[in-house]
Chain A
Amino acid sequence: MLEVKDAVVRYGAITALHGISFSVERGEIVTLLGANGAGKSTTLRMLSGLHAPASGQILFEGRDISATKAHDFAALGISHVPEGRRIFPQMSVEENLEMGAFTRRDSVTEDMGRMYETFPILKERRKQLGSNLSGGEQQMLAIARALMAQPKLLLLDEPSMGLAPMIVETIFAIIGDIRSSGTTVLVVEQNASQALRLADRGYVMENGRIAFSDAASTLLHDERVRAVYLGESVES
């Protein structure tokens, strides 16, 4: 479904991604792991058109989308749940959901009803401003907002960041449900153990490169992963 070939991303003189290659198959949950600054967020931003690759290719359903502009990605079927949720603070929950469906021309009321079923708390708060929601509620809204575009591929950037462990469980359960309903998921996470338990496959990034990759269940027991990432997250 998604294939990245030797993609390079630069911020001015700094090279953030030194030619990374990976793929995501339809129906999978794939996770990108790595320390801060390894290039995970940059990778997701590249996959939403926020940073065009300086060289290399991004193929989505066989189509080269490396030069596609950010505002055209939603219509392609790629939705991005950005790091820090980025809810529109002065819009109501309902308006945030409507923003998610911005490029759609058909009626969205049915999908909105479905989101309210999946996230009952959002229904309760649908007239409240985005800025008045708790972190967990905002994360649910950010995911629901992205789903309103009816994506084929959902990109999630640090969905567990800053959330209480119980909420994290809920969010990951929802991500599992999203995949079951037919949407492919690429998730970037610091919380490696949670991510690997959910994902099918994982890529480990280091300094703007993909260091290694494997089936998630294998990575979960990989010594390098355990030492570097799981050690931290198990203790916290």
Chain B
Amino acid sequence: MGAFGHYLAAHFDTLKLEFWALFVGGVANGFLYGMIAVGYTLVYGVLRLINFAHSEVFMSGGFAGYFVMRALVGQSVPSGFSSVGLILLGIVASGLAGALVATLIERVAYRTLRRRNAPKLAYLISAIGASYFLFNLAGKEFGHLSVSMPQPYINHPVFHIFGAPVEMYYVIILVVSVAMFVLLDRVVATTKLGRGIRAVAQDAETASLMGVNIDRTIAITFIVGGTLGGVAGFLFGLNIGVVYTMGFVPALKAFTAAVLGGIGNLRGAMIGGLILGIFESLCVVFVQAAYIDVVAFGILVLVLLVRPTGILGERLGRSA
């Protein structure tokens, strides 16, 4: 005890407040990671491949949201209904952009190779190529400097949790990601479309005997994952701003989250995202802010060593 004990006692309230503030931030980041991770896990489920161009889906969503905000948000920060409307417009635009870019990636970098029965390594390389092409194109077109997004809402605290403020930004992330995730989860579990996706994930050939169009199902998983990834890019950019390289680190962390939760497993992607987001955020208190990325990717290495199937294991196939 000694000096450290006295320090703890004296600063307990401050530490507690800091802890909860960071926890809230970690949860919000975790939801964003989860939304991106869903894209990895869905595509992995049906193709057994990691879409390493998914980072650019995220980036495109960020830019789509940025352009909509820049066009529509004026000098003063909007509030009330106009805020809600603007955020919804940003979500729609970024979701569409994400879906579009994901579809392009599937058509160009994946389907062409599938037609030729290419080995797995070829997909990896073509996805990385597509990623470089897309982010460099964005850098060329939109500039190489980070630009902040015009704010469509006033970021005041909405409520407090153990004394720590929960700002509007976090509430938006929470509402949007939970809504999208629950909708996706239900669609996959209960609809014919979802049954088709699960059938392809479990046994693609037999699924085709049942009349499931495999190409179409694969395209749908890219669209769905692209939509969530694009919206995540918009929500991320609202706070941090957008730049052509913005996809790299968050997407790599989301990939970590997907592996952590069990790649191929939808709920695992969300759980993995949350765990990773909270862990790396709290690392500011317990380790050092500079070690955030070390902690995040340390987790990836650890998971791969200890439990390669992740927390929940692979089971996109399952209904629950």
Interface residues of A (CB under 8 A from B): 48-50, 69-75, 79-80, 82, 86, 88-92, 95, 98-100, 102-103, 145, 149
Question: What CA separation (Å) do A95 and B203 show in the bound complex?
Answer: 14
| Pairs A–B under 8 Å by Cβ, sample size 12 | A48-B209, A50-B208, A74-B211, A75-B211, A80-B209, A88-B198, A90-B198, A98-B192, A98-B195, A102-B199, A103-B210, A149-B211
Does chain A have a CB within 8 A of B62? no
How close is A148's CB to chain B, nearest CB, in angstroms? 9
| A71–B202 touching, CB < 8 Å | no
> B317 at interface (Cβ–Cβ under 8 A)?
yes
Asked whether A99 and B315 contact (CB < 8 A) given A71-B214, A91-B198, the answer is: no
**Chain B contacts for A149, CB-based, 8 A:** 210-211
| Chain B residues with CB under 8 A of A92 | 319
Q: Please pick, from B192, B209, B315, B319, the residue contacting A70 in the complex, using a CB distance under 8 A.
A: B209
- Tell me the interface secondary structure of chain B in the complex: helix
Taken residue by residue from 210 to 240, chain B's Cβ proximity to chain A (1 for < 8 Å, 0 otherwise) reads as 1111100000000000000000000000000
Chain B neighbourhood of A90, CB < 8 A: 198, 202, 315, 317-319
Complex Cα distance, B317 from A74, in Å, reads 22
CA distance A80 to B203 in the complex (A): 14
Q: Is the CB of B211 within 8 A of A82?
A: no
- For A86, list chain B residues within 8 Å (CB): 203, 205-206
Closest approach, in angstroms, between the C-beta of A85 and any C-beta of chain B?
9
* Among B196, B209, B315: residue with most chain A CB under 10 A: B209
A99 CA to B207 CA, complexed, in Å: 8
- Taking each of A50, A74, A91, A145, which has the highest tally of chain B beta carbons within 10 Å of its own beta carbon? A91
Decide if B198 touches A102 in the complex (CB within 8 Å). Answer: no
Give the Cβ gap from A141 to chain B, nearest Cβ, in Å: 12
Task: Determine the residue in chain B with the shortest Cβ distance to A100.
Answer: B210
How long is the Cα–Cα vector from A102 to B315 in the complex, in angstroms? 21
Q: Point out the residues of chain A lying under 8 angstroms from B214, CB to CB.
A: 71
Instruction: Tell me which of B203, B211, B318 contacts A102 (CB under 8 A).
Output: B211
Are B317 and A89 in touch, CB under 8 angstroms? yes
A135 and B95 alpha carbons, distance in the complex (Å): 45
How many residues of B are in contact with the other chain, CB < 8 A? 21
Closest to B209 in A: A80
Complex alpha-carbon distance, A73 and B211, angstroms: 7
Could you tell me if A71 and B203 are in contact, using CB atoms closer than 8 angstroms?
Answer: no
Instruction: Give complex CA distance A149, B212 in Å.
Output: 12
Bound CA–CA A100/B206 (angstroms): 10
Query: Which residues from A are CB-within-8-Å of B319?
Result: 90-92, 95
A71-B213, A102-B192 given as contacts; is B206 within 8 A of A91 (CB)? no
A109 to chain B, nearest CB (A): 14
| A102–B203 CA distance with the chains assembled, in angstroms | 15
Contacts of B192 in A (CB 8 A): 98, 102
List A contacts of B195 (CB < 8 A): 91, 95, 98-99, 102
Complex interface bits, B88-132 against A, C-beta within 8 A gives 1, otherwise 0: 000000000000000000000000000000000000000000000
Complex alpha-carbon distance, A173 and B213, angstroms: 33
Q: Write out the residue numbers on chain A whose beta carbons fall within 8 Å of the beta carbon of B205.
A: 50, 70, 82, 86
Which chain B residue has the least Cβ–Cβ distance from A89?
B202
B202, A88: Cβ atoms under 8 Å?
yes
With a cutoff of 8 Å between Cβ atoms, the chain A residues found around residue B198 in the complex are 88, 90-91
Contacts of B207 in A (CB 8 A): 88, 99
Whether the pair B206, A71 counts as a contact (CB closer than 8 A) is: no
Contact at B211–A103, with CB atoms within 8 Å?
Answer: yes
In contact, B208 and A99 (Cβ under 8 angstroms) = no
Do A102 and B206 have beta carbons less than 8 Å apart? Answer: no
Q: How far is the CB of B196 from chain A (nearest CB, A)?
A: 7
Which positions 279-320 of chain B face chain A at CB distance < 8 Å? 315, 317-319
A74 touches B209 (CB 8 A): yes
Cα A75 to Cα B318 with chains together (Å): 26
A70 to B199, CA, bound (A): 15
Whole-angstrom distance between the Cβ of A125 and the nearest chain B Cβ: 16
Inter-chain contacts of A91 with B (CB < 8 A) = 195, 198-199, 202, 317, 319
Minimal Cβ-Cβ distance residue in B for A81: B209
A71-B213, A99-B195, A103-B211 known; A88 vs B206 contact (CB < 8 Å): yes
Contact across chains for A71 and B211 when beta carbons are under 8 A apart: yes
Are A71 and B208 in contact (CB-based, < 8 A)? yes
Q: Report the separation of the CA atoms of residues A79 and B203 in the bound assembly, to the nearest whole angstrom.
A: 16
- In the bound assembly, the distance between CA atoms of A16 and B211 in angstroms comes to 25
